[in-house]
Amino acid sequence: MSNKSMFGLIAALVLVVVGWQSFFVVSQIERGIVLQFGKVVRDDLSPGLHFKLPFVQEAHLFDGRLLTLDTATQRYLTLEKKALMVDSYAKWRIANVQRFYTATSGLRSIAEERLSRQLESGLRNEVARRTLHEVVSGERDQLMADITATLNTSAQRELGIEVLDVRVKAIDLPREVNRSVFERMSTEREREAREHRAKGRELGEGIRADADRQQRVILAEAFREAEQIRGDGDAQAAAIYAEAYQKDPEFYSFYRSLQAYRESFASKSDILILDPDSEFFKYLQGAQRR
């Protein structure tokens, strides 16, 4: 290979290296800055192909998408000094690339560590201003809106980060408090159960008393109707007996005497001590004379 060819090849390689160092691409999901000797000379680069001075300037690209900061569960105290375990997360993205790079050296880990401290401090302040009921349900949405606004203001000023949303995933009681809370809940439920049982017993006694009263009324009415029917029957029987007696008194007397004999001597163990000349044996004596 001739010297001319060698120089041509070297020149081509130098041009390739210079071109490689001179151009860079910013994608749609990235944010970029250009540094010159460590100083930011261009920031917030738009997506596309960009030029920089080779070996003098350098480009730094960062993730421009919406990112999630998932914090560890922390212990906070409410207005009435009750402890809560709060699990939360934040949605953020880079808003000011130059400020973000200056504050964090472009490292996401540093940015999330500082943002996490700010989120913890903001949540501590917001929870301390509210009662347990307000944190859990009453003002939970307002709490998240307030912490989002506060955190966004401080994060943009200090880190160049825009905080779009802060959400509380879970609110629990500390482990050492759970047992006492469950015991108090169990005691309350037992008290309510006793009240319901007492009301049930009272209602049951009322129902049984009413049923007994209705039973006595029904039996009394039935007995009255039975006595009335029995009285009517006895009156009708007496009328029939009287009518029969009027038709043939002698036969009626004889018939009634036979009934008396039948009922008196129904059992062999029956004993009667009477005078043989008693009126009771009137028809028996007459039968013997015949």
Q: What is the pLDDT of residue 24?
A: 80
Distance CA 205, CA 166 (A): 58
Which domains are assigned to the chain?
15-63 (no CATH), 67-172 (3.30.479.30), 249-290 (no CATH)
Distance CA 136, CA 76 (A): 13
Question: Average pLDDT in the 258-284 region?
Answer: 68
Beta bridge partners of 165: 91
> Which tokens go with 187?
């005691």
Q: What is the pLDDT of residue 176?
A: 67
Going by pLDDT thresholds of 50, 70 and 90, the confidence category of residue 284 is low
Q: What is the pLDDT of residue 85?
A: 86
Assessment of whether the complete model's pTM goes beyond 0.85: no
pLDDT tens by residue, 72-115: 888 888 888 888 888 899 999 998 888 898 899 888 899 999 99
Residue 240 CB burial class (10 angstroms; 0-12, 13-18, ≥19): exposed
